[in-house]
Amino acid sequence: KLKTYRGAIERFKQVIDDYPDFKNNDKLFYYTGKCYYAFRYYPSAISFFQKIFNCYPNSKYLKKSTALIKKIAELQARAPQVAPAPVEEKKKLEKSDKQ
């Protein structure tokens, strides 16, 4: 809601890492994917959406995730050079991914 995507990603990933048995991981995966989608960092967005598809086939976030994966595919098909996330933000996200 506040469009503080980087902070949200870090918080979501911390919960995912610290509480692997958290009952709402599908929700965390969905919103983490949406944050990456907002950054236009599509590979990571797709990765989180696919986790829902692979691990939570009955999730209420499955349809939304599938729709966003299709939307990303359409965007990439129409304009293969879709503007990536700003370089500084991309580097910060990659750094947080490695941690």
56-75 pLDDT, tens digit each: 999 999 999 999 999 999 98
pLDDT of residue 36: 94
The C-alpha atoms of residue 48 and residue 46 are separated, in whole angstroms, by 5
Regions in the chain scoring below 70 on pLDDT: 1-2, 80-99
Rounded Cα–Cα distance for residues 16 and 74 (Å): 29
pLDDT in the model for residue 4:
80
- Nearest of 66, 4, 88 to residue 38 by alpha carbon: 4
85 DSSP 8-state letter: S
CB 72 within 8 A of CB 66: no
- Distance from C-alpha of 38 to C-alpha of 66, rounded to nearest angstrom: 16
> Tell me, what's the pLDDT at 9?
92
For residues 56 and 98, what is the distance between their CA atoms, to the nearest angstrom? Answer: 25
